[in-house]
Structure 1
Amino acid sequence: MTDRTFSHIAVPDAFESPLAFLDALSRTSGGFILFIDTEERVRYATRGFADWFGKSPADVVGKRLLDLYGPEGYAEFAPQMKQALAGNAVHYERLARRPDGSPVWISVTLDPYRARDGQVAGFFSCELEVSELKRTHDALDRALQELASHMENSPLAVIEWTAAVEVRRWSAQAEAIFGWKASEVIGRKPSTFGLVHPDSLETTRELTRELIEGAKRNRMLTKNITRDGRTIHCEWFNSAFFDADGKLSSMLSLAQDVTARVESEEQLRQAAVYDSLTGLPNRNSLAARLEHAIMRVSRSGDRLALLFIDLDRFKKVNDTHGHAAGDEVLRQCAARIRTCVREVDTVARLGGDEFVVLLESDVRPDTPSVIGDRIRSAFDVPFQWKGTDVRCGASVGVSLYPDHARDPAELLASADLAMYRFKKVEGQPQ
């Protein structure tokens, strides 16, 4: 072999000749470098490859791969070798076994070599042990599979967004909650498929902007719209991921449908401040409004009035027609009282057949009596229960702030007392 053969190699000065360089490469290379001819015989091998079999390079050169590896070992790579001899470059990984039986993962690259006539004369094989890399890769792959499994099996919708707020990942639960399939939303902004209810657009935009501008995480409660047009309430837990340069890379959202919870909380809130039968503010709500009203007029020097309304002959309605009729009459009473007051006034039901009207705006001296007369007149028309006329009157007592009382409880008691005085004068049943 002459120097001309190595004319393309830039041999370092430390080596006397290209042959010395090649010999050093063969002896010290950590990888297994081989040249295999068309008869599947080893024509060149580095020392590392020979050491694998406990032999010297001279002992393996000229040997057929079938003889070196045995039928079982040979079968593991024979298909890839046939491809290389057919002129195809091949790369693969396989689990090999050392002569002592211990397993090791190796990465193999096979590159065909063509003679001057263009025919394949054999192939070069470069093999590297990648056991540690393979274990790391497998561990990472298992971790990613576990994470993907957790995400798909989570009761929460898992949605990953790009920095441009386009859907990158859409879990099965996201499809279950919102209705869209992943294929319908991947690569799209939520605005393009109507995910966010108009009532929650501003909140969603503000908190998304917060993440884009550097917040690591936030939480929001929004209204969303499903694929079939339903409005649902969702709780969102959002986080942002920034790369080493501090640039937003992606955002992750975990969402759950909390419609049932929100509706239950709203029902409890309504029950706390509204009368379930008539829909009017209840005693607690009236107390809070009255306290705030007194605080306001005490600063401004204005006046407010409280009208206490008790139904006349209501017990007879229950005794004659039953409690269902009584409930219906109470609902109709509430509606009539509302029509008799101004938009700014408050109508509340204390309980039973007792109602209160709070006048806290523009209360002139004659305002309470005008509204009181209007309410009594409204009750002159019979109520209806299953086609039957049901008669029920109203007695009204008035208390003024600060004329009659300065305390909410005392003001209410004063109006109650005035109502009973009126009832007594009119001869109405208690």
Structure 2
Amino acid sequence: MNSENPLALDAATLLDVLHAGTGATLSVVDRQWRFRYVNSGFARALKMPAHEAIGRTVLECYGEETMKIITPLVERVFAGESVTYERKGRIHDDANAWISVTMTPWKSPSGEILGFITTTLRVHELRIATEKLIAATQRLASHVENSPLTVLELDDTFTVLRCSARASAMLGYEPEQLVGRAITQVLSDGSAGGELTAALHQLQSGVDARSQLETAFTKPDGDIAQLAWFLSALPASGEQSMTVMCLIEDVSAKRIAEQQLRYLATHDSLTGLANRSGLEQRAVALLHDTSNNQFHVSCLFIDLDGFKKVNDKHGHAAGDSVLIETARRLTALIQPGDIAARVGGDEFVLVLKDSVAFTRAAELRVRIVESIRAPYSIKVNAAQIAAAVGASVGVSYQSAQAVDVTELIKRADAAMYQVKYAGKDRRR
């Protein structure tokens, strides 16, 4: 202590105050690797009084293993460089803690390097926390990369900051091709880009915290994928701008499967015509367009005559061929907007809608009988054979006023049975 200035501290006392305030251990080592100074914390780590450490070499205090580690580092310090590294070692009363060691050149007033100064801080908790954070980040990154979803992180300008490897297969772009690009530019083709941009702006403005949408996306090779987007916003905090996390699922196969299921639910799998359910749905939709009284609706119910004989004689495969050809012939007779359906084994229904539906139905039933009466050439066991069937056709009519689809079909069915009872292969 300086007697002239009661607040002045000598160097040793100052270093001890520094140690007490920061927990740092300090030492000064000359070029012969001998300790010239150690503070109380450093001495405690050496398990000896400070005065006993003075004059000892680093080798004497730490052993050969430590010397092997630090010799290359000290050589860099002797060359004028400051070096910081982390290792496990003794500090204070902890014999196996993570410590951060900084070694700086000890220079004379003239700039000559006399040795090095070490400053050691305990960083155990920080190191453990950092390692846990790194491990958690690596696990999360592994989950992201192994996810069937593509993961994108966007900044507040919707530029891609990060992208998972899944983007290559799903979007047709390598991650490095997307990073740095605005996702709205990647999806610039029509409504898809517009829908996504609108959803992102809703997140940016704070109106929504999360959003979900589905868009079509054209890949670089021209293939079109149906993508489901799950978006969530991380609001701005301090100097950190808002970011958006995007999880993208390719739902193309799912949508195709749904379409196929809807198709199978409303279509006959053999002929491709509407089935009874599809007939009713399409007829209702058709009749909703007949509010104008100038339109009329006709229904023709067709039952094949002699079809059972074909089945019994040539087998079900031959019967299926007759049904497929019948569907083709009926479809060829109607106009766009009309409905053709197979509603039973050998039963078909046609629904017509226009201003002359009554007249057209009367003409069409004649043409149906003539068309189906024509011989069928079908293949049975690699052989081509001729088959013959006829048709009984019942017709019902109704104006556009208060059309009841079920009743319309029911009356056409009844008319068809009257034809059957009257001798078949006729129309009524």
Query: What TM-score bracket applies, with the shorter chain setting the length?
Result: 0.7 to 0.9
2:352 maps to 1:353: no
Q: Distance in 1 between matches of 2:158 and 2:401?
A: 63
Q: Distance in 1 between matches of 2:157 and 2:391?
A: 65
SS at 1:379's partner residue? helix
**Residue 266 and residue 196 in structure 1: after superposition, are their counterparts in 2 closer, same or farther (change >3 A)?**
farther
Residue of 68, 72, 90 corresponding to 2:83: 90
Matches within 5 A, 1:213-362: 213-214=205-206, 215-224=208-217, 230-244=223-237, 249-291=242-284, 303-362=296-355
Q: Distance in 2 between matches of 1:236 and 1:188?
A: 18
SS at 1:39's partner residue? coil
Q: Name the TM-score, length of structure 1 as normaliser.
A: 0.81
Residue of 417, 420, 423 corresponding to 1:420: 417
Structure 2 contact 283–339 (Cα < 8 Å) conserved: no
SS at 2:242's partner residue? strand
For residues 235-289 of structure 1, the C-alpha deviation after alignment (integer angstroms, 9 at most, x for no partner) is 4433232221698633333344444433332222111111111211110122233
Structure 2 contact 226–250 (Cα < 8 Å) conserved: yes
Correspondence for 1:109: 102
Deviates more, 1:244-253 or 1:305-314: 244-253
Task: Tell me the percent identity.
Answer: 35
2:122 maps to 1:122: no
Q: Distance in 1 between matches of 2:361 and 2:239?
A: 67
Unaligned residue ranges in structure 2 (runs of 5+): none
Structure 1 contact 167–189 (Cα < 8 Å) conserved: yes
Structure 2 contact 369–425 (Cα < 8 Å) conserved: no
The one-letter amino acid paired with 2:321 is: E
Q: Distance in 1 between matches of 2:125 and 2:318?
A: 83
SS at 1:360's partner residue? strand
2:22 maps to 1:25: no
The one-letter amino acid paired with 1:131 is: H
Correspondence for 1:6: none
For residues 332-366 of structure 1, the C-alpha deviation after alignment (integer angstroms, 9 at most, x for no partner) is 22222223222122221112121111223435542
- CA offset at residue 64 of structure 1? 2.5
Residue of 402, 406, 415 corresponding to 1:409: 406
2:161 maps to 1:168: yes
Correspondence for 1:9: none
**Residue 178 and residue 242 in structure 1: after superposition, are their counterparts in 2 closer, same or farther (change >3 A)?**
same
Q: Distance in 2 between matches of 1:326 and 1:198?
A: 49
Unaligned residue ranges in structure 1 (runs of 5+): 3-12
Q: Name the TM-score, length of structure 2 as normaliser.
A: 0.81
- CA offset at residue 224 of structure 1? 4.6
2:139 maps to 1:150: no
- CA offset at residue 380 of structure 1? 5.0
Deviates more, 1:235-244 or 1:293-302: 293-302
Q: Distance in 1 between matches of 2:406 and 2:164?
A: 57
- CA offset at residue 84 of structure 1? 0.8
**Residue 388 and residue 67 in structure 1: after superposition, are their counterparts in 2 closer, same or farther (change >3 A)?**
same
RMSD: 3.7
Correspondence for 1:10: none
Q: Distance in 2 between matches of 1:281 and 1:201?
A: 36
Equivalenced residue count is 416
The one-letter amino acid paired with 1:25 is: L
Matches within 5 A, 1:162-201: 162-178=155-171, 180-189=173-182, 200-201=192-193
